[in-house]
Amino acid sequence: MSKVAVIGAGPAGLMAAETLAQAGHTVQVFEAKPSAGRKFLMAGRGGLNITHSEPAERFNARYGARAPEFAAMLAALNANALCEWVHGLGIETFVGSSGRVFPAEMKAAPLLRAWINRLRKQQVQFLMRHRWLGFTDEGALRFDAPKGEVIATPDATILALGGGSWARLGSDGAWWPLLQQAGVQVAPLLPSNGGFETKWSQHFIDQCAGQPLKTAEFWLTTTPAKATKGRPKTAKVARTLAAGKQTAPLRGECLMTEHGLEGGAIYTLSAALRDEILRHGSVTLYVDLLPDYTAEKVLTEVSHPRGTRSLSSHLRSRLGVHGVKAALLRECLSAETFKDPVQLAAGMKALPIVLTACRPIDEAISTAGGVQFEGLTQQLMIKTLPGVFCAGEMLDWEAPTGGYLINGAMASGKAAAVGVNAWLGQ
């Protein structure tokens, strides 16, 4: 019977531990924090989105340039299999109107409690407050523990240390320099599924910060890209960069903040927005404030005689433009534009918002970058460190919110454990 160390007690690490225990290995889970799954619990505060019910082909495409790698992992733990796994914990699931899948109670805590209890019954040992410090010269694992430094010499190791966001919950990216020093191929950690900054006026901040923008469409025009080395873009971003085309309009909503924009639609476009900012220092996001109206209809309504009514009253009565949408028009369009119905109508259908920076990485829901697949075997073992495998968000991949992050992390945890089992069996 082999002894395997799993470092990190998030979804990827716990799934790896369960898979290894079922295969008969002795499993120790090392976790820097006092309890397991802290980011998992935080993600479930607004309703734990486990996975998504869309067709497999579309689901797999959400992983962009890493879709080929994830196709193999998701084949072993796809959305249906993950739901069956949740049901095995005694927790029912349901599909929301958006196609997202949730536990019946919408919460993460009951699922995590049931999972930890099952792992303990499978003889998985948890060692909390054990922060990984890297490797000894002989390749053993070093930990900072409550009673001092601890050295562990397992037969195999799975690193599932998370990304670089939400450091207070454990995903602090502290492993990045340790692996770089060990000669592992790692790409810089970048924010993913996060907010972006723009320069709002104080008046707009006072009036709109914290308010949602609903029923809108969002897109950006990317510029032609030259071939560059480094972390691959997502498949969608790579295509649009190469051709210098407009991304497909995305219908959704976002949130006004004192710094700029965040929320669902922004998160979905975050990879493309971030990459453009990194390349050029800024990016223009276009917003169709009236996606249910044609451009001709908007122009007709804007041009309609308004008599003694103010322009604000006219736009509200003819097109329903008020609140955040009206404030955005005033914020982003010049005073001269409001004097020209053609320009004003065009602005409503393609309002330009210049974004100049990503919000700090620790505010992002997830991160891109990390351990590159090119430095791993197909079984997720680090080529230069035999017996050391990687899983979860610390791998170099990204996906939008909507269940893809958790499903992807857990699928990679299972894949790494299967890889360990095969390697130990050789």
156-159 and 388-390 strand pairing: parallel
- Identify whether the C-beta of residue 407 lies closer than 8 Å to the C-beta of residue 63: no
d(Cα 100, Cα 80) in Å, to the nearest integer?
12
The answer to whether residues 34 and 180 belong to one domain is yes
CATH of the domain at 154: 3.50.50.60
Query: Which run of H or E residues covers position 87?
Result: helix 79-88
The answer to whether residues 206 and 302 belong to one domain is yes
The answer to whether residues 301 and 329 belong to one domain is yes
The answer to whether residues 52 and 164 belong to one domain is yes
The answer to whether residues 168 and 103 belong to one domain is yes
What is the CA 31 to chain-centroid distance, rounded?
22
d(Cα 5, Cα 388) in Å, to the nearest integer?
10
- Write the CA distances from 285 to 234, 239, 248, 288, 364, integer angstroms: 18, 18, 12, 10, 19
pLDDT range class, residue 160, cuts 50, 70, 90: very high
This prediction has a pTM of: 0.89
The answer to whether residues 352 and 205 belong to one domain is yes
Single residue among 332, 358, 384 that ends a domain in this structure: 358
What is the CA 301 to chain-centroid distance, rounded?
40
Question: Domain span at residue 210?
Answer: 196-358
The identity of residue 370, as a single letter, is: G
Interval 92-125: pLDDT, tens: 999 999 999 999 999 999 999 999 999 999 999 9
Number of domains composing the chain:
2
d(Cα 69, Cα 375) in Å, to the nearest integer?
13
Residue 387: name the closest of 178, 158, 186, 183 by CA.
158
The identity of residue 398, as a single letter, is: E
pLDDT of residue 128: 98
Helices (H), 189-309: 202-208, 235-243, 264-268, 270-280, 295-303
The answer to whether residues 277 and 353 belong to one domain is yes
pLDDT averaged over every residue in the chain: 93
| DSSP-assigned beta bridge partners for residue 285 | 220, 353
d(Cα 196, Cα 147) in Å, to the nearest integer?
43
Single residue among 302, 326, 358 that ends a domain in this structure: 358
Q: What is the mean pLDDT of the segment spanning 378-401?
A: 97
Q: What is the mean pLDDT of the segment spanning 14-21?
A: 98
Candidate from 36-40, 178-182, 232-236 with smallest mean pLDDT: 232-236
Phi, psi of 92 (to 5 degrees): -80, 160
| DSSP-assigned beta bridge partners for residue 411 | none
| Model confidence at 238: pLDDT above 80 | no
Residue 384: name the closest of 392, 376, 372, 373 by CA.
376
The answer to whether residues 184 and 223 belong to one domain is no
Query: Which run of H or E residues covers position 412?
Result: helix 404-425
Single residue among 314, 339, 358 that ends a domain in this structure: 358
Structure-token pair, residue 417 = 């454990």
The answer to whether residues 50 and 67 belong to one domain is yes
Residue entry with tokens 């945890």: 413
Phi-psi label, residue 35: left if phi above 0, alpha if psi -120 to 50, beta otherwise: beta
Count helices and strands in the chain by DSSP H and E runs = 16, 20
Task: Supply the angle between the helices 295-303 and 341-349 in degrees, to the nearest 10.
Answer: 140
The answer to whether residues 187 and 200 belong to one domain is no
Interval 328-370: pLDDT, tens: 999 999 999 999 999 999 999 999 999 999 999 999 999 999 9
d(Cα 367, Cα 89) in Å, to the nearest integer?
29
Other beta carbons within 10 Å of 46: 8
Q: What is the mean pLDDT of the segment spanning 56-74?
A: 94
The answer to whether residues 66 and 129 belong to one domain is yes
Query: Which run of H or E residues covers position 256?
Result: strand 250-256
